[in-house]
Each structure stands twice: as C-alpha cells, then as structure tokens.
Structure 1
Amino acid sequence: MTPPARDAFAALVLHRRPQRARVGLTLGFVRTFAVPGIAEVLAGTGRLAEAPKARAKATGAMMFALIGHGVDSPAGRGIVAELAAMHRLPGVDDELMRYVLACFTVCPVDFAGGTRAERDAATAFAADLAAALRIPPLPDDARGWMRGFETAGFAPSDAGRALWRAVAPLFAARLPGPLARHAPAFGAALLDAPLRAAFALPRPPLPLRAAAGLAFRLMR
C-alpha cells in the first residue's frame, strides 16, 4: 500500500475521528460474535469472557498499530504473525478471516463517517493485510459482501450471547460520565436488527436509539 493511501485511513481513525472510529471498531468486533463459528472460537479461549476490557483493548491496539504503521512495518509484521496464528486455529477458514477483516475495516470507517478517499484507503489497507495473511482479498464492494455473509452466517448461539454480555459494558469508556452506567443499553441501541436477533435482544425504544446515536456521533 502506498503511503498516501495508508495515511488517509490512518488520519481518519487515529486523528480526525478517533473516538468514533474506536466505537466503530468495537461494533465490528461485536458483529463477529453473531457468527457461531467465530463465537465458538473466541469463547473457547476463555480470555474474552474473563478479561473483556483487556482483550478488546489488545484487539484495538493491534488494529490501530497496523493502520498507523503499515502491514509491512516491523510492528506490522509482528501483528500479522499473531493474526496468522489465529488463522491456524481449528474451525477458522479463509471466509471467516475475510469476514473479520471486513468488520475491522468497514465498520470503523462507516461509523466515523469516512470520505470516499478514506474508504478507498481502508480498502487498500484491507487488500494489503489479506495478502500478508495469505487469504483471498475482499471484493471491491466489501460492505455488500459483508452483508451477504451475514445474511447467510448470522445465527443465535450461546457463545455469541455470552460474548455480547461480556463486551457490552465496554461502551462505557466511550460515553460521557453520567451515561456510562447505561453502557449496555446504549450499546444495544447501536445494534441493527440482525445483530439483535442473534443476541436475543429486544429492540430498544426509539428515544434510547436516538439518544445513543446522538451520544456517540457527537464524539470527535
């Protein structure tokens, strides 16, 4: 990936709208829980349920280091090796890895309100990371491919629901102090219908959905 492409994506998620990008990354992480095969792998390690804040922080740090320094940087090569080790876990195939990659690149840009240039930069980053992981690249319409994958792959599972319960409080770190204690409800209000169905969550009332959208989108 050329430096200008990397810089456009990095500028969005690290400098222009870092808080919104982090919420988007968290939502991307949550989306993977709705795929039973991924949820089983994540739950099977036990690490996410035991220390959700530390695990989510580590995941975010890995992605932002890759975005900021590049896949081919010394730091990036180390992270790619860690991700490749996940690819070798039983039950993790190329399509699951591609879906996770889509979630971690499409969702932060979408939630941060990225420009066309920033979306193109995210696409270039995803292509570089896919090549480094030796998995097929995402299609040009990564967002459309991701939604198609979800239509076929989302399903309720005990593991997925348990992971959502473990991670939902993490939205507190992105909320103003007085609202932090309502983090699970505000986080649920950001989920779309397919995610709510997978986690067996009721649709939050309209005022809560509106308040959640406003609270998170007022962030830088």
Structure 2
Amino acid sequence: MKRIALALIGVAALALSACDGTSDTLTDGRDGVDGQNSGSGSTAGGEDTTFNHSNNPGGADPQATEQPAEPAQIKMVGSPEVTSRLHGCGKLSVASIANLITSRGLTGGQPQGTQSAQQIFNASGAALGAANYNGRVPEAPFASTSAMAKLFDIFAMGSYAAVGNNYNAPACPNTKILGADGKFTKDGLTCLLGKPARDEHVAIANDAIAQNGTDGAKIAIAALLAAAHTCQ
C-alpha cells in the first residue's frame, strides 16, 4: 500500500509541476525574450508593432506617412484590358468561330484550287480544340499553337470573300469592307471587328493597301480579324 501511495503522490506532484509553468526543462518556465516571462498577449500587435495599412481601396491616402512601393514593372504592365489579354488567354469556342464565319460573310471567294474559310473550319475540329463526345473529352478552354495557326488560316482565306465585289455580310447588310475608291471603310472594319473601328484601324489598313496593292487589303483583313478575335 505504501508503494502505491508513494507512486500516486509522485505522479500528482509531476502533473502539478508541469502545469504551473515553473519546471519546464527547456525554458524553466520563462516564455519571453532574454529569459523573461512576458505574460499572456505578448504576441498581439499594437499601434507601435503593426504596419499602417491604407483602408482606401483606390490607393494609399495622400496624407499617409507611409506610401506603398510602386515598382517600375507595375507601371509598364498597362491597363486592365491589356493585362487581361496577356494573362487571361482564352479562345473563341468552335461554335463562335462558325458564327463569325457565316455572320461576316467569310464563306467563299477563294482562288481556284484552294479551300475557303468555311471548308478549312469544317475539316479542323480537332486542331481547334473541338469536343470529342465519344471519348468524353470536353472542348479545350484555352488556345493551343495548332488552334491559333488554324484560326489564322481561316481568317486569311476569309479575307478573299471580304474583298469580293459581291460581299454581303448577314450581320452587316449593305456594308462594304472596301469603298468605291478601293480603300477601307470604317463601317466595314466595324463589322469585322465586332466593335467600333477607330481612325487608327482605318489608317493602318489603308497603309497595307498602299504598300501592297495586290494582297495588302487581304493581309490587313486577316491581321485585324486575328487581333480582334484572339488574345495576345
């Protein structure tokens, strides 16, 4: 009985000494800096130990004493429109490409012995990332190298239809890409781009005609379509 009682007393003493924070063999009960017991809440931040963050979502308060750093690369990135095109590179769905070809009248006009934009599209489902339902593979959400190359092939051959005399886009009735003077019209480029064309678009496109009277218009159309409907 004495042995049992002594054992129980010893266990109880060890438990009590471990709970009072004074017999820790590593810290000897001290939890602060330089062996001092700092007490509870010593790691909480205060006015003198935390950074003064600005609560203004538009930027730092001009009156604040601390201003956030503005690395040079942040200023060089550009507007949100630019960054979204650089870092959020999705692609036109296969259905959207089909609608673009038909609604903009890019279905014919190709030279003899070549394929039209519509024919290239019809034979390029796999390259464009179309869904494989039999294999339970969904449509690719991002463009691949082959998809980008094939899409530009479609735009390049579609340009032959756009410069034709009988061009008539279902989405833009009675709108001509090239005017009677052989130069681009702003309404025609607006139809191709899907958004209002600017004077800069017209000037660059007409410059291509000035440099290459034979194929300049087709090159400009393919380049504008690629710039408007693919990301960088």
Alignment TM class, shorter chain as reference: under 0.3
TM-score normalised over the length of structure 2: 0.26
TM-score normalised over the length of structure 1: 0.27
Bigger relative contact order (CA 8 A; separation at least 6): 1
* Larger-Rg structure: 2
Higher helix share: 1
